[in-house]
Structure 1
Amino acid sequence: MPIAGWCVATATSIVLSSFALSPVLNAARADDELPDLDQLPAAEVAVTTTSPPAPAPAAPEHPAPSASSSTSEPSRAVPSKTRRKPSSKPAATTAPAPPATTRPSTTTENGWTVTMGDDGVKTYVRSFRCDGGQAVIKMTSAGTVALVTATPADGYTVQKTGSDTNLAIYFTSTARSFVLHAQWWNGAPLVEISEVGG
């Protein structure tokens, strides 16, 4: 009996949610049916903030007759529509794409993925693999070194030692060990991989 009640409750909730979501699903558009971003009325929103100052001076001129004030309000709406059209030009200037371009540009140098920060410091990131595992190292042109991730291979353990300027990652098993030694050296990132006890 409890199972039958659960089935009825579940079926009812499915029917209700399908009914509630049907207007949303029917109104959904495919990606190819969406309007172009340049055609969106974002400029009208910016214009409505500039159009209220113009009706404010016009408001004191027409309030004297109360009957004409009701007719003057629709006439105010017409000039605001005409003001929206010329302000589409400033909308092009108010919708700049520079924030998207402020992301640091990414380049590759000697296998390192390099990004330049706003402060002029380059960040270098690279993955290194050996029989003992894999490590991702991050360095900056300011001389700092950091371990992003280290994943040991089966049968190995991982250990990090050193400082933020001179770093060593050990992948150790009972028979073999690998050391990744990372530091900023002569104006460039340097990582050496050595096998110990092989």
Structure 2
Amino acid sequence: MLGWCAATLTSVALASVAMLPVLRTATADEGTLVSVDQLRDSGELTPRPIPAPIVTTKPPKSSSHASPSSSKSRSKSPSRSTPTSEAPATTKPTTKAPTTTTEDGWTVTTDEDGVRTYVRSFRVEGGQTVIRASDGVIKLVTATPADGYSVATVQNTADNLAVYFNETNHSFIVHVVWQADKPFAQVDEVGS
């Protein structure tokens, strides 16, 4: 019991010493901090009116004088600032939302260029992994081993990935290869 207490105390002391430079650099300089009262007095906390959205379908005609109705509305609401000259609104090209389907357990997202991205989560007794594949490239997104297991990955080529969840004399292998323009996955258990 005494040994455990000494080991714990030593690890806490070492961790504190190791973290001291980080904690010192993370301390804010109190001279640069602004109090809430100073913010309130400066007006930074007061809400500002949101300008109304301006929608223009065609460029406005140029004229030498403003219409009477617009000058009246400006004089009625002095708190609202309106820019004197506005650029015509431009329409951005609409982007098509990617379509999502499911194929052989993979979530497939097709973007506007027709590129298909495959994502799949694999859960085995040894842990969980998420793998992404697109255009012949297999990538590991995440791999989290279960208690008592370790994780290792092997990727000799861009189109071939294996994730191993290992414990003594026992492994789970998630193997993904790019084949026939899509990913192919195989899950194996090796050992006892």
**TM-score normalized with structure 1 length:** 0.57
Distance 2:93 2:46 in 1: 31
Q: Deviations over 1:144-169 (max 9, x none)?
A: 21111111112211111122111111
Q: In the alignment, which residue of structure 1 is the partner of 2:171?
A: 177
What is the aligned partner in structure 2 of residue 6 from structure 1?
A: none
Taking the aligned partners of 1:13 and 1:24, their CA distance within structure 2 comes to 15
The alpha-carbon deviation at position 121 of structure 1 amounts to 2.4
Structure 1 residue 80 displacement after superposition? 9.6
Aligned residues: 143
Which of residues 56, 62, 78 in structure 1 aligns to 2:67? 78
Structure 2 residue 46 is the aligned partner of structure 1 residue 24: yes
Structure 1 counterpart of 2:94: 98
Q: Which structure carries more strand by proportion?
A: 2
SS at match of 1:161: strand
Specify the alignment match of 2:102 in structure 1.
108
Change (3 A) 1:19 1:79: closer
Larger radius of gyration: 1
Contact 1:123 1:139 in 2 (8 A): yes
Deviation at 1:104, TM superposition (A): 1.9
| 2:149 aligned residue (156, 169, 179) | 156
**Secondary structure, aligned partner of 1:98:** coil
2:60 corresponds to: 50
Q: State the Cα deviation string for residues 11-70 of structure 1 (Å, max 9, x = none).
A: x93444455569626x68xxxxx99xxxx44126x87x6344x43xxxxxxxxxxxxxxx
Structure 2, gaps ≥5 residues long: 1-33, 71-87
| Partner in structure 1 of residue 13 of structure 2 | none
Instruction: Give the distance between the partners of 1:148 and 1:119, measured in 2 at CA.
Output: 23
Uncovered stretches (5+) of structure 1, i.e. residues with no partner: 1-11, 29-33, 56-75, 82-89
The correspondence of residues 119-138 of structure 1 with structure 2, limited to 5 A, is 119-138=113-132
Deviating runs (4+, > 4 A) in structure 1?
18-23, 94-97
- Contact 1:176/1:196 (<8 A) preserved: yes
Confirm or deny that 1:197 pairs with 2:191.
yes
1:114: how far off? 1.0
8 A contact 1:51–1:80 mirrored in 2: no
Amino acid at match of 1:77: A
Q: Is contact 2:40–2:46 with CA below 8 Å preserved after alignment? A: no
Q: CA deviation at 1:115?
A: 1.2
1:23–1:161 distance in 2 versus 1, CA, 3 Å:
closer
Query: Percent same amino acid at aligned positions?
Result: 43
After the TM superposition, which of the residue ranges 157-166 and 180-189 deviates more from structure 2?
Answer: 180-189
Letter in 2 for 1:137: I
Q: CA deviation at 1:134?
A: 0.9
Q: Secondary structure at the match of 1:43?
A: coil
Alignment match, 2:12: none
**Shift of residue 197 of structure 1?**
0.9
The equivalent residue for 1:70 is none
Q: What is the CA distance between 1:188 and its match in structure 2?
A: 3.4
Separation in structure 2 between the aligned mates of residue 147 and residue 124 of structure 1, nearest angstrom:
12
- Kindly report which structure 2 residues correspond to 1:33-48, keeping only aligned pairs within 5 A, or say none: 40-43=52-55
